[in-house]
Amino acid sequence: MGSRKYFGTDGVRGAYGSAVMNEAFAWRLGAAAARFARERGAASPVVYLGRDTRASGASLEAALAGGLAAEGFQPVSLGVVPTPAVSLALRQAPAAFGVVITASHNPAADNGIKFFGPAGIKLTDDEEARIEALLPATAGAGGAALGSYDARSLYVATAARLLPAHCLRGWKIVLDGANGAGCQTSHAVLTQLGAEVVAIGCTPDGRNINEGVGSQHPEPMAAAVKAHGARVGIAHDGDADRCILCDENGDVLDGDEILTVLALHALKGGRLARGRLVITVQSNLGVDAAVAAAGGTVVRTPVGDRYVIERMLADHATLGGESSGHVICAEVSPTGDGLVAALKVLEVMLASGQPLSVLRRQLTKFPQVTAALTVREKKPLEGLPTLPATIAALERELGAQGRVLVRYSGTEPKLRLLVEGPTDAVVHGALARLEQAVRADLEVV
């Protein structure tokens, strides 16, 4: 695997105005990506640029376009669109590659840049490392004339065809767009299918993306479902590649529950390729038990939807995702798509005649607790004096009845802790011991 300095688990990300998230660096990154595409023999000079609703997006897009143009490529703006709409555009209208300017679920003060290859699939670690190696030393001063392409209409039309016309007539659905890129597109599709949509988090102003709403903050969605007597709630993140749901009782479903509902429905109909579901090490062990009981198997990857997708491609799997709400339905799209995930769950509800409150009972989660500690420095975990021994001791104590996961976030200065075990008391006690060890070894802020 190539060594990467700037790319994390989902592109380059940071506070806008920082050393890696400013116009000069965006220009350099655009130039480097163009050099990479030329090196790989790109068949088209066109590059698609999409972005979310952050105020910093337009100027970063212009800078990226300048770097692309300086290397002889033709930047084409898709405007504000969900991340999966960029992937779809690449598959429908050939281009050298695509770029999405987004920091996903992060606050508005952050932004990010991630790349898709010509087949609409995120780049690998090695490909990102090669782009870093091709970065010019300094940014140029040139801009670029941006072309345009209506990827939004393409995305809406394609998604609306996933379910029968007017099949949601009589349904009331709460949509929380996180004040992000999916506000208009998801609303348009649900409305076309006949639903009455109650919209929250759908008034972006460039500064309020993910602010108290969206997949990271499902409470407003749950409250709206109960207040309006809706049948289901749907919440996206800032670039709408995630989906978190809420049943008619106002109870929230995470990605594990969504994936279990979809996997078991597909297994029952003989449509889950190789009977296999691909998830990450973050997902609850209850998913493995539910899928195994239905005759399927689960494969786990490192955290990051890119790694899920890579494994799905290698295994010819059709369903995978993360507990965070990234769900990949490969028969529709080779990347996470919050709207597609929601529509697929609605399809199960329609086919089964069961409300989401019943369907969710197919997953019984193992007791699990998590924590995310902000650290001053990401020191190598294996070299710490206290934490490795604590992890080893807990793993011995839990045995086959649980597990411990400790990892650094790939997008934030955080150390993430997860413990699963037989009882709530056991997992809370184990988490407390982990946090104590972390504080002994690292400066927590």
Residue of 104, 186, 283, 324 marked active site: 104
Query: Stretch 153-169: mean pLDDT, rounded?
Result: 98
Q: Choose the weakest-confidence range: 88-102, 136-150, 259-273, 313-327.
A: 136-150
pLDDT averaged over every residue in the chain: 96
Residue 412: the pLDDT is 84
User: Locate tokens 């989902």: which residue?
Assistant: 10
The CA-to-CA distance between both ends of the chain, in Å, stands at 31
Alpha carbon 354 to chain centroid distance? 27
Query: Stretch 342-367: mean pLDDT, rounded?
Result: 97
- Do the strands 196-200 and 244-246 form a parallel or antiparallel pair, or are they unpaired? unpaired
User: How far, in Å, CA of 99 to CA of 113, rounded?
Assistant: 7
Query: Stretch 290-306: mean pLDDT, rounded?
Result: 95
Query: Stretch 117-134: mean pLDDT, rounded?
Result: 96
User: How far, in Å, CA of 306 to CA of 309, rounded?
Assistant: 5
In the chain, the amino acid numbered 24 is: A
CB atoms within 10 A of CB 39: 11
Catalytic residue status for 104: yes
Question: Which residues make beta-bridge pairs with 415?
Answer: 373, 408
Q: Which helix or strand (DSSP H or E) is residue 420 part of?
A: strand 414-420
The string of pLDDT tens digits covering residues 361-377 is 999 999 999 999 999 99
Q: Categorize the per-residue pLDDT at 2 as very low, low, confident or very high, splitting at 50, 70 and 90.
A: low
Residue 410: the pLDDT is 79
Residue 43: the pLDDT is 93
User: How far, in Å, CA of 359 to CA of 357, rounded?
Assistant: 6
Q: Which helix or strand (DSSP H or E) is residue 28 part of?
A: helix 23-39
Whether pLDDT at 327 is above 80 = yes
Q: Choose the weakest-confidence range: 154-158, 290-294, 301-305.
A: 301-305
The string of pLDDT tens digits covering residues 59-101 is 999 999 999 999 999 999 999 999 999 999 999 999 999 999 9
Q: Categorize the per-residue pLDDT at 196 as very low, low, confident or very high, splitting at 50, 70 and 90.
A: very high
Structure tokens belonging to residue 154: 């393409």
Residue 1: the pLDDT is 43
**C-beta separation of 81 from 50 below 8 A:** yes
Q: Which long-range contacts (CB under 8 A, 24 or more apart) does 399-408 make?
A: 402/285, 402/366, 402/426, 402/427, 402/430, 403/285, 404/430, 404/434, 405/281, 405/282, 406/381, 406/434, 407/303, 408/378, 408/381
Residue 233: the pLDDT is 98
CA angle 281-179-251, nearest 5°? Answer: 55
Query: Stretch 259-263: mean pLDDT, rounded?
Result: 98
DSSP helix/strand/coil, 437: helix
In the chain, what is the greatest distance between 2 CA atoms, to the nearest angstrom? 62
User: How far, in Å, CA of 288 to CA of 278, rounded?
Assistant: 10
Q: Which domains does the chain have, with CATH numbers?
A: 7-150 (3.40.120.10), 168-252 (3.40.120.10), 255-340 (3.40.120.10), 368-441 (3.30.310.50)
Whether pLDDT at 297 is above 50 = yes
Sequence-ordered alpha helix ranges (H) in 55-171:
57-70, 83-92, 125-133, 151-160
Whether pLDDT at 319 is above 50 = yes
Q: Quick one: angle between helices 83-92 and 338-352, nearest 10?
A: 90
Whether pLDDT at 353 is above 70 = yes
Q: Categorize the per-residue pLDDT at 146 as very low, low, confident or very high, splitting at 50, 70 and 90.
A: very high
Half-sphere exposure of 424 (CA within 13 A, CB side): 0
Structure tokens belonging to residue 369: 């607790």
